[in-house]
Amino acid sequence: MINKNKLQSVISKYYLSGLVESVKWKVKDNTLSIDFMSPNRDMIGKVEFDKFDVKNCELAIFDTSQFNKLLAITTNEVLIEPVKNKLLISDIHYNLHYSLADPLLIEKVGNVSDQEYNIEFSLNQEQVGSIIKAIEALSNSNTVCLNKTETIAGDDSLEFVFGENQEHANKIVYPLEDITVLKPTTEFNIPFSSEIFKNIFRANRDCDSVHVKMNIEGLLKIDFEGEDIKSHYYIVRRQDY
């Protein structure tokens, strides 16, 4: 049996409020791993769930929205069993059938080569919540910039700047002083999609730890870890900024 809420949490971490619909679930030794990619390829990720009580298999989930609707009507514990081209989902009330897709219909997820990162830092749950609030307060903007600055004492620090780049645009600045510089670098101002940020941080707000690494060429790596679930994201800078 699998806890429904736990499975919904796993799905949310790749589905990202509808951004990613089609994926392959790969099960090996009761560990579920899901590789995924955004439609315009500016984000690649992976989710891992350690307690997935299903036999070794590969499941092509083409329509995650529909799968979520089926899962939503079940109770707390579900039994999941792959049978030929279907996924059987059952609880104390229902026997549900989800039709699996041909694996060839699922787009292959790209690879991210090893990078040399310039900066790393960790976030706690309070900081994650603050970032989500900032994005939601400027819902008409799709930009968050990461700026390297200095504190009054001259120590390296980082700013999340939410809002567009125009002089008279509304902005929210969220400073972060506890960072580690892995490779010396000058000040920078790198833009990312705040919509992707919001979806990722919302889906992972139940995680216990967050670790971020940044390459100033425009790549961000974010690792979340919680009980039984790990999720990893690579985000590419906005190219139209």
Q: Are 14 and 200 in contact (CB under 8 A)?
A: no
The tokens for 110 are: 């790209």
Average pLDDT over residues 10-30: 97
The CATH topology of domain 2-104 is DNA Polymerase III; Chain A, domain 2 (3.10.150)
92-115 pLDDT, tens digit per residue, is: 999 999 999 999 999 999 888 878
Q: Which of 121, 134, 113 is nearest to 181 (CA)?
A: 121
Where, residue-wise, is CATH 3.10.150.10 in the chain?
2-104, 119-236
Indicate the DSSP class of residue 42.
Answer: S
Q: Are 224 and 207 in contact (CB under 8 A)?
A: yes
113-130 pLDDT, tens digit per residue, is: 878 999 999 999 999 999
pLDDT at 87: 96
Given a cut of 90, is residue 139 above it in pLDDT? Answer: no
pLDDT-based confidence at 199, cuts 50/70/90? very high
What contacts 226, CB < 8 A, 6 or more positions away? Answer: 204, 206, 207, 208, 209
Given a cut of 90, is residue 71 above it in pLDDT? Answer: yes
What contacts 205, CB < 8 A, 6 or more positions away? Answer: 125, 128, 129, 132
Give the CA count within 13 Å in the CB-facing half-sphere of 77: 3
CB atoms under 10 Å from CB of 62, counted, come to 17
What contacts 175, CB < 8 A, 6 or more positions away? Answer: 149, 157, 158, 159, 160
Residue listed under structure tokens 């979520």: 68
Q: Are 200 and 221 in contact (CB under 8 A)?
A: no
Mean pLDDT of the chain: 93
Least confident of 43-47, 170-174, 176-180: 176-180
Q: Which of 192, 204, 194, 196 is nearest to 47 (CA)?
A: 204
CATH of domain 119-236: 3.10.150.10
Q: For the chain, what percent of residues have pLDDT higher than 70?
A: 100
Strands (E), the chain: 2-3, 23-28, 31-37, 43-49, 57-61, 77-83, 86-90, 95-99, 119-123, 143-150, 156-162, 172-176, 180-181, 189-193, 209-215, 219-225, 229-236
